Amino acid sequence: MQTKSSVHLPAPADIVDPLRLLTKRVIIALGVLVVTALLVYIDRDGYNDNSDGSVDLLDAFYYTTVSLSTTGYGDIAPASDTARFVNIVLITPLRVLFLIVLIGTTLETLTTRSREQVRLNRWRRKLRDHTVVIGYGVKGRSAVNTMLANGIATETLVVVDPDPAAIAEANEQGLVAVMGDATRTEVLRRAGVPTASRIVITTARDDASVLATLTCRQLNQTANIVVSVREADNLALVRQGGANEVVTSSDAVGRILGLATVSPALGHVLEDLTTSGVGLEVAERLVSPREEGKQPRQIADLVVAVVRDEEELPFHSPAIGHLVRGDRLIVIRPSEEYPWARREDAHEPPPADEPEDPADRPPGGI
């Protein structure tokens, strides 16, 4: 059975619980009803009942309901001057209040729907160069948290998942979520896949990941698609389907477990590198002006690779030579900035009295 597709925007900060609002209005309406009935019952001698001549408590509530709803059958009517005065001074304002509550609830419902549609249309107009995360399980949540920790804005993330609980959790985190089957073109279009710049696929099954990859690549020829698969046998298949990067989750976890068994210290370092926000982190940054002309080993951060002209060069590659403007560095550095770990991507100007190291000069320099 296919799940109906729908877009769920995160709730505004000042939104009121609709159930609480409805309960409050029902209590007000019942209060108006009871107060009006008691007023009629207290002054029952001033009312005339065409059926038996007397007005009891049931007749009072009957008169109140038909009066507040502006029906007015006329079988019970105020006969005395006092009863008519009470109708004018008290019951009529209560009738108006009852109608305000009734009509206000209807208008509030229509206004809420209209406001939600306006928000949805505004979101769709702004949907460009965003990131779509397909699957909001353990891997999907971890991917989202990592992207948020690395500066990607919450409003540029869209989650796709068929589970209502996952959709609710994504909304609580401030994310836009689309509920539905990610292998269906309609669902992916609702998530804005055709205009996305990055797509992360973390479904629970490899077959679903393959189909989602094929569909995403068909809708978007330029997006960077990263896919998680459980079995290494499916790696080549997913790449052929259009994935730019494929991560084998089971093999990766198995390798970390094996390394942690052989060397607990190595396992701890690997765990540290994969944990966002604490200890060490792997980051990509541009080379700073003060680093141009230096070799990777002379950089304060530990350089793992250099990306030059969209080609990844390992730190020991002779093709690197010296760093040039436009190079991007893959580095290992502290997640927090310590006094002894200055970040070069902060573009801090070098001290004026810093002596020049001859080893820092490029070949042929003066």
Q: What is the pLDDT along the chain (366 residues), one digit of tens a residue?
A: 444 666 776 655 555 566 777 778 788 888 888 988 898 888 888 887 777 777 888 888 888 888 887 776 777 777 777 877 887 888 888 888 887 887 777 776 666 666 666 667 777 778 889 999 999 998 999 899 888 887 888 889 999 999 999 999 998 888 889 999 999 999 999 899 999 999 999 998 999 999 999 999 999 999 999 999 988 888 889 999 999 999 887 777 788 888 888 888 888 888 888 776 677 888 888 998 998 999 888 888 889 999 998 888 898 888 988 899 999 999 988 876 544 344 444 444 444 444 445 444 444 433
User: Is residue 294 one of the residues assigned to a domain?
Assistant: yes
Would you tell me how many other CB atoms lie within 10 Å of the CB of residue 280? 15
Indicate whether 190 and 293 sit together in one domain.
no
Q: Does some domain include residue 267?
A: no
Look at residue 157 and tell me if it is in a domain.
yes
Residue 142 and residue 115 in one domain? no
Asked if residue 68 and residue 38 are part of one domain, the reply reads: yes
- What CATH number should be reported for the domain holding residue 294? 3.30.70.1450
109 and 148 co-located in one domain: no
How many structural domains compose the chain? 3
pLDDT value for 244: 93
Per-residue model confidence (pLDDT) at position 17: 62
Task: Answer yes or no: pTM beyond 0.85.
Answer: no
- At residue 51, the pLDDT reads 72
- Same domain, yes or no: 201 and 119: no
pLDDT, position 193: 93
Same domain for 304 and 343: yes
Same domain for 42 and 150, yes or no, is no
Same domain, 113 and 170: no
The domain in which residue 354 lies consists of: 279-360
CATH number of the domain to which 43 belongs? 1.10.287.70
Is 32 a domain residue? Answer: yes
